Amino acid sequence: MARKLIIQYAGAVYHVMNRGDRREAIVHDDADRKRFVETLAET
């Protein structure tokens, strides 16, 4: 089943969720976490 269309607009607040395969951690230390947050901020 396809997901519902997400309505986007300037100034909106979105919930962002991310997880690894089989619910594995996506960051392993503070350096990974910092890199992830910096990359997310660019987006």
- For every residue of 1-43, DSSP letters joined together read -PPPPPP--TT---------GGG--S--SHHHHHHHHHHHHH-
Q: What is the pLDDT of residues 2-36, one digit of tens each?
A: 888 888 889 988 887 777 888 888 889 999 999 98
Host domain of residue 24: 15-43
Does residue 8 lie within any of the structural domains? no
pLDDT reported for residue 29 = 95
pTM of the model: 0.52
Domain membership flag for residue 26: yes
* In-domain check, residue 39: yes
Q: Note whether residue 32 is domain-resident.
A: yes
Is residue 10 situated within a structural domain?
no
How many distinct structural domains can be found in the chain? 1
- In-domain check, residue 30: yes
